[in-house]
Structure 1
Amino acid sequence: MPILTLRRAALCGLAATALLAGCATQQSLYQWEDYQPQVYQYFKGESKEAQVTALEAGLQKIHASGAAVPPGYHAQLGMLYLDLGKGDQMVQQFQTEKALFPESAPYMDFLLKHAGKGGKK
């Protein structure tokens, strides 16, 4: 095998190793806490109060660590507040979701509009 081909192969191997090492050290953009299990519990019809408690505790941990709240976290909490008849807290959570993730504004506005027409989603 010519020396030039060996050098190219070695350089490609080093580049691949560096690329994989870079991927391995990458941290998550958001801190999820119990968000995903609570969404699952929501769809299973489990206790809304327990879900709110878990999400609120997760939110405190996220804020304490200085991490970012994932998209949908405040929206899910708002949906739970809606189900519990806590309209003021629902509005606050939907507004927070809109502020953090402007792309969610059309959906949050839709939910706010329909929540005001008598109730549940």
Structure 2
Amino acid sequence: MKTMNTKKKSGGIAAAIASALLLSACAGGPPHLYQWEGYQPQVYAYLKGDAQDAQQQISVLEEGLQKIRANGNHEPPGYHAQLGMLYASSGRLDRMQSEFLTEKKLFPESTAYIDFLLSKQKP
């Protein structure tokens, strides 16, 4: 009888340990590939037509970019393209081109779209 209780106790302890290990393994999760900061709400507001003026949006995104880099993380695809579009709408074509080229460098798959946007800016 005593052997039976010992087996039940050790089985229960083993199950509890296995459950704890399983739950703790899931808690951490993999690190995120990109840090988004205020990018998504800014793009949503921009596309919806509820956005602040271009300079305010630029300020928010530039500040977000500084936070992303300060944390040692990476900005998501489209971040520099959005900044480029905002710089274009505020007449700062030199910064627009710089942001578009940064987008192409970081995300080569965006080359066709960025080249299209750049071609629209030429006289």
TM-score, structure 2 normalization = 0.75
CA contact (8 A) 1:74 1:96 kept: yes
Q: What is the aligned partner in structure 2 of residue 29 from structure 1?
A: 33
Whole-angstrom CA distance in 2 between matches of 1:86 and 1:19: 51
TM-aligned CA deviation for residue 48 of structure 1: 1.4
Report the CA distance between 1:44 and its aligned residue.
Answer: 2.8
Aligned partner of 2:59 in structure 1 is 53
RMSD (Å), alpha carbons:
2.3
Matched, 1:91 2:104: no
Report the secondary structure of 1:70's partner residue: coil
Deviations 1:12-44 (A, max 9, x none): xx6xx8599347521211000000000012113
What is aligned with 1:70?
76
Mapping for residues 91-110 of structure 1, pairs under 5 Å: 91-110=97-116
Opposite residue 33 of structure 1, the aligned amino acid is E
Deviations 1:32-68 (A, max 9, x none): 0000000012113322111111000000111111101
Q: Structure 1 49/101 Cα, relative in aligned 2: closer, same or farther at 3 Å?
A: same
TM-score calculated relative to the size of structure 1: 0.76
Structure 1: state its 5+ residue gaps. Answer: 1-13
Identity %: 54
Residue ranges of structure 2 left out of the alignment (5+ in a row): 1-17
Please state if 1:113 is matched with 2:119: yes
Larger radius of gyration: 2
In the comparison of the two structures, how many residue pairs are matched? Answer: 105
Q: What is residue 3 of structure 1 aligned with on the other side?
A: none
Shift >4 Å, 4+ stretches:
17-20
